[in-house]
Chains A and B, each alone.
Chain A
Amino acid sequence: MLANNNLKVCWRLVRRDFRFHRVKNAVLVLAAALVTGLYAFVFLLGSSVQAGFLLNYQYTYGSTSHILYTGLTEHQADLLSQNANIQSTVRLSTVGTLSDPLVGQRVVQLAVTDRAYAETVLSLPTTGRLPETAGEIAMDEFTMNSLGILHELGAPVTLQWTDPEGSVHTDAFTLSGWWASPTNFSEACTWITADTAGQLVPGYDGEAAHNVTLGVTLYQPRDLDAQAEQILADQGISGVSYTTNLAYNEARLEQAAGQALPYYAPALLVLLCGFLMLYSIVHVAAERDSAFFASLKALGMTPRQIRRFLVEKGCAVTALGLIPGWGIGFLLHLAITSRIIVGLEENPALYFLSWPPFLAAGLCTLATALLAYLLPMLALSRRTPAQLLQGIRPRRGRGRGNRDGRVTLPRLALGTLAQSRGRTVLSAVVLLLAVVLLTDVQIQYASLKEDIYLSAMSPWDYSIVDGSAYLSLQRYNQENLGITDETAEALLARPEVTSVSVLKSREILLTAPEALRQRLEDYYNQPYDETMTLRDSQSGFPDWVAGLDRLTETGAYTGLVIGLEGDYLDYMLTYSPFTSGEFDADAFASGNYVIAGGAYYEGVSTPAAGETVTLAGRTFTVLGSVMHDNTYLSGSNSREAAFHIAYFVPMEVFDQLFPGQGVRQLAVNIDHGQQDSFEAYLDAYEQDLNQGVGITRRSEYQANFETARLNMVLPQLIVSAVLLGIALLNFVNLLVAKTVCRKQEFAVYQSLGMTHGQLRLLLLLEGGLHGLIMLLVLCPLTALFARFIMPGIIEGIGSWAMVYTFSLTPLWLSLPVILVLAAGVPLLCLHFVTRGTIRERLGGME
């Protein structure tokens, strides 16, 4: 027999269902909106984190172009630009490279201004402008600080640079603008005009000049190396070198996806909890729906039509919840993502905003909603009308009644606990899981100690360093006077400051006596392990090896004289073990002694205690030698000083040896209660400077700590918070369902003489009992977890900044909410279940 499946009628029934059951459907749409919002937030956060990692790789690469071809002629660049796979190109004409040793290990190119190229390498002036007339130059702050160039528009700039032929030039320019380069750029550009370039290197733009760098943006940024080769082959060009953007490297893409994975993981929980939430709402109306479908089936509705009805219902609920859900997700994203991704000037929530997460959220919500309708769909399709009606008959009671037959309200309330036991247990388990997870997060959070972190990251509150020594890639310019003794005195005069420690350094050329030379040769020739000597272990540092060779061949070496006091001296003495002699504060302060610092390896690699050394014409006795831990020194030394022996002298002695020498770095400690006012002072101080200084603030360490702490717990916090929210909704739903579906039962009670007050008390007791059950489950198990399981978890994490700290804060915060909900929700439902006359609620109107 043919089944006539008029499916259009299903949609009509769906529309009527929305019209006549507004409350139930409004709650369903609200739940769908919440699920969409959570999905959208999780996907937006995950995609933003992933994009953030890729942007970081791009910063490391130094350009937003997909491929950079270097050493091209103009003709070759033109040919490559014509390739069909290329979307756009930018180009750079290099005149030479800065070769001033003070630039340090950074590669700074002297190139002709090209705004488009400058944009791709994030090198557009933020103060002033790009050069426009001959003799003007624009550069980044790190290069300026290394060279000691004043931060003033029009300031004179003298550069030592090397042209492509290898000739070294020194030329003067006028500063037209500058910008702050990202700290992880190892390459930078200084911009000059084409006229200036023509004057510096006549014919620099000639046909034969291989000085063009072409930045290429592809239509499809995949398999960049293969595409780079293919483009060269297509255009018939060979012998050209290129680099590809790290951000589009397959391994990096996978790495970014892997790093962002924990942020996507909560989507699984949203699926589970969203299903539970939607299903439980659907379940509340199951009795009414069963009666409805029983009558429809009796009238000839086919299983296919029922399935179609439920699928359309799921789609309609999802569709209505989409826009508010996307709004919820976006607002959550706006509020939270900017706290996770830091370092961008723009709000990362807006910077990384894209549409795919919204689409994915919509699809996932639809899947979740359909999943929630799946069980009712199967049940309604398979059962006969009679079975459906049978399923909604009152369930049999269980157990034994009271012998005297008396029924008190508490007993009546207790009896209802037995109903929907499965859902009560499920609700308790989900709540327990959420509270335990939150307790885990809270204990991890509380166990991370700021004071331990701060003392490890910086032994002092503030570091103020010369602008040429801010980055490890920068070489400290010992001619700079950005920070002076007056600066230190002014800081010490501040009411917030408790101590200021000064460190100065100076490189000097020394000659080692034969005994020292021989000792160092023997020292570095000692076995490092079974395969190499100590010297061999440093073969990756050619400047260091050259310095040692110079010493062993000629006895000449670089001495790094360090004048230090206060915290710097304490730090050095704490972390640099003595290999000969010992520290004597009085002797050191007398000015007749130095401490010699050598390699951080067992044995004496410097003049030993009791020996003498002559520094700047003054002879000192070596008080002791140490394995020098130099991590507190900012910036790097000259290439010649890659191999050096450090000599520590008191600051007064240093000033006598090198009068007028600027300060390399300051360590400042303050009264923490006055941190805000001191940082305001530092801001003003930095603003007024016309020379670069690098300031590392205590608040930056605190912010870094907070960010690191938040990032550590955030994925789990999101999961737990989502779970708790849904667990509470589930609990509310349980209470609502248990109350509203007993409308007729309450009418019977009232018809038998139960007063409104007794009914209110009954519902209050029922809610209270549910709250008590949750309390009995949550309190002991969460406390046991926090007390006995968490110490092991904290130990397993193995973070040096963690000290196990017991906390039940999430439990204490959750319990009042649970108890208020338990008591309040049934009472709120009372109005609905007692609406209308008893006669109406008992059913049947005549």
Chain B
Amino acid sequence: MDMVSVHHLKKYYGKGENLVKALDGMDLTIEKGKFTAIIGASGSGKTTLLNMIGGLDVPDEGEVIVDGVNLSGLREKELAVFRRSKVGFVYQNFNLVSTLTVRENILFPLSLAGSTPDAAFFDEIVGLLRLSDRLDAFPGELSGGGQQRVAIARALIAKPAILLADEPTGNLDSKSGQNVLGLLKLSVETYHQTLVMITHNLEIAQMADRVVRIADGRILA
């Protein structure tokens, strides 16, 4: 069963000679519960694709269907609700809220939705990600790896169907990177989630169930 289905997706930037075809008629399906790695050179359209799947950007043409929801027909408010309920993002630069504690950062998506957190699940996640003793710290007080673990916890807390990770280990040393990757895989397996990860690292890509290569906005065969 497909978690993500992308049909003839196009996204262009600029005009005339400056036209950049970030996505140029891409078709892709991602199977549910699998770890998919997206690799490609800089400017190949990896991040654009991830943003389209996550509802952070809208395509010029084509459609994106995530967990049965066609994003093309959603308004901004519906997209926001979709993001908070279906998707968990993990960014290269963490994107944590510096003024909130670790606990608050993790629970932030639920706070936005006004949902009551599942205390047992919260404990389970912070235990899994080894954050139990740093819950009252602020992001600035953690190491890069620690911050990325908070970002992963935040991505998982709403039990999203799909985790989208944009080079989550790009800002980390190799040991921290390995740890984070291990945690991501563990959480996906534990909670039966779909993981789509952008990476430049072929070693990491080889750990995925499937590797998708992108060049010039198209999937390479």
Contact = CB atoms under 8 A, between A and B. Distances in A.
A418 B122 CA distance: 28
Interface in B48-73: 48, 51, 54, 56-58
A758 B98 contact: no
B117 A405 contact: yes
Nearest to A416: B99
Contact of B47 (A412, A748, A754, A846): A846
Contact of B56 (A394, A757, A837): A837
Contacts of A405: 101, 103-104, 106-107, 117, 122, 135
Contacts of B57: 837-840
B80 to A, nearest CB: 4
Given A837-B56, A839-B51, A397 B112 contact: no
B111 A755 contact: no
A86 to B, nearest CB: 74
Contact of A753 (B45, B80, B101, B138): B80
Interface in B16-61: 22, 42-48, 51, 54, 56-58
B213 interface: no
A844 interface: yes
B109 interface: yes
A600 B48 CA distance: 100
Interface string A387-406: 00000011111101110011
A130 to B, nearest CB: 79
A397 B97 CA distance: 9
A755 to B, nearest CB: 4
A15 interface: no
A25 to B, nearest CB: 25
A397 B136 contact: no
Contact of B44 (A418, A749, A846): A846
B56 A397 contact: no
A748 B85 CA distance: 15
Residues of A in contact with B, size category = 35 or more
A839 B22 CA distance: 13
A845 interface: yes
B81 interface: yes
B186 interface: no
Given A751-B89, A752-B83, A755-B81, A397 B101 contact: yes
Contacts of B13: 845
B37 to A, nearest CB: 16
Q: Which of A393, A406, A416, A846 has the most CB of B within 10 A?
A: A846
B43 A846 contact: yes
A750 interface: yes
A656 interface: no
A629 B77 CA distance: 86
B84 interface: yes
B100 interface: yes
B1 to A, nearest CB: 25
Contacts of B47: 839, 844-846
A842 interface: yes
Interface string B88-130: 0101010101111101101111111100010000100000000
A151 to B, nearest CB: 82
A749 B112 contact: yes
A407 interface: yes
Contacts of B104: 401-402, 405-407
Q: Which A-B residue pairs are the 5 nearest by beta carbons?
A: A753-B84, A401-B101, A396-B140, A397-B138, A394-B98
28 contacts: A396-B138, A397-B138, A400-B136, A401-B103, A402-B103, A402-B104, A405-B103, A407-B100, A407-B108, A408-B111, A416-B99, A744-B95, A749-B112, A753-B81, A753-B85, A753-B109, A754-B84, A754-B112, A755-B81, A756-B77, A758-B112, A837-B56, A837-B57, A839-B47, A843-B93, A845-B47, A846-B43, A846-B47
